[in-house]
Amino acid sequence: MDQIYIPKNRSGFETGNYVLVKPLAQNEISGRDIEKPFIYGVSKISPIKIEIIKSIFSLINKNFCPDNVIITGSFLEEGFKFNDIDILIVDEKKQDYKELKHVLEEKIGINIHILSLTSSELREGVSSDPLYENMLSKFISCKRIILNIKRKILPKLLDLHLLKSKSIIDNFDILNGSEKYYLTKNMIAISLFIESKKVSNESINKEIKNKLKVEADDIKKNMIDKESFLRWYTKEYSRVFTMILHMIKKKENKDGPK
């Protein structure tokens, strides 16, 4: 029997659906949009999400024609536990996308976050910012992307990023679960980045459990014991800060006095 292979991440039907396979005439092929989204790091995604992504790509490309459009974030995780869709628009022309957010939200009915940047800004962000690397560890783009980028450790920039995470120690009681998770994620991502480890949601959540003795989902739900959490968190924050401080001093000694 002849076999026909279908991509795992396919849209329009689920596993087990019956389909009719037949050749298409040339006039049926012409004008069809045969370009498929480029999927990276996503093992499984529901057909309805693929349709939403295609709709986003179509609307943006029809009205703006940017160099590329990238979908990232929790929308790509299995299930439907997401609050918004994160969109990166790679565009050398730096167009105005202020109205696009409202148009997409009205059409799709989901909160939209849009970040516009050039290709050089994207490469620089992925090479030097742990959260950018985390963001691009899993994505679906309109066009194929090759991210063969070496990490660039900028100690002072990491120190600035880490400072944001200190607010958990000072403002634990007034932060909600999502805010606590974001700041915790930021600190752990910096730690993994410095230690040359993979920065992804999976590796971050695993490290949270190992270093802070708590599940990531419990932080998101704001269901953590303050005293226990802050004891481990303060210890880890101090460790990461010390690593960065050591790198700053080492670089200053190497460069010499200005």
Please write the tens of the pLDDT for every residue from 25-62. 544 444 444 468 999 999 888 989 999 999 999 999 98
Which residues lie across from 117 on neighbouring strands? 90
16 or 183, greater pLDDT = 183
Q: What is the mean pLDDT of residues 138-143?
A: 94
Picking from 98, 44, 47, the residue whose alpha carbon sits closest to that of residue 76 is 44
Q: What is the spatial distance between Cα 128 and Cα 194, in angstroms, rounded to a whole number?
A: 10
* Residue 171 falls inside a structural domain: yes
Range of the domain at 40: 26-141
CATH number of the domain at 97, please: 3.30.460
* Residue 4 falls inside a structural domain: no
- Helix (H, G, I), strand (E, B), or coil: what is residue 115? strand
pLDDT, residue 78, reads 83
Q: Cα dist. 41→81, 128, 167, 202 in Å?
A: 18, 20, 32, 11
Q: What is the mean pLDDT of residues 86-101?
A: 88
The answer to whether residues 119 and 71 belong to one domain is yes
The Cα diameter of the chain in Å comes to 75
Picking from 130, 151, 143, 36, the residue whose alpha carbon sits closest to that of residue 88 is 143
pLDDT, residue 34, reads 43
Q: What is the mean pLDDT of residues 143-153?
A: 85
- Helix (H, G, I), strand (E, B), or coil: what is residue 110? coil
pLDDT, residue 148, reads 77
Share of the chain above pLDDT 70, in %: 85
Which residues lie across from 88 on neighbouring strands? 70, 115
pLDDT, residue 21, reads 64
pLDDT, residue 77, reads 87
In this model, does residue 2 exceed pLDDT 70?
Answer: no
Q: What is the pLDDT of residues 236-246, one digit of tens each?
A: 999 999 999 99
Domain boundary among 87, 118, 141: 141
Q: What is the mean pLDDT of residues 221-249?
A: 96
Total number of domains constituting the chain: 2
pLDDT, residue 8, reads 56
The answer to whether residues 137 and 161 belong to one domain is no
To the nearest whole number, what is the mean pLDDT of the chain?
Answer: 87
pLDDT, residue 36, reads 84
The answer to whether residues 212 and 162 belong to one domain is yes
The answer to whether residues 44 and 105 belong to one domain is yes
Q: What is the pLDDT of residues 3-29, one digit of tens each?
A: 565 655 555 555 666 666 665 554 444
Picking from 109, 92, 99, the residue whose alpha carbon sits closest to that of residue 55 is 109
pLDDT, residue 216, reads 95
pLDDT, residue 252, reads 83
- A 10 A CB-CB count for 107 gives 13
* Residue 8 falls inside a structural domain: no
The answer to whether residues 197 and 129 belong to one domain is no
* Residue 21 falls inside a structural domain: no
Q: What is the pLDDT of residues 62-91, one digit of tens each?
A: 888 899 999 998 899 887 777 789 999 999
Query: Picking from 20-24, 209-213, 253-257, which range would have the lowest pLDDT averaged per residue?
Result: 20-24
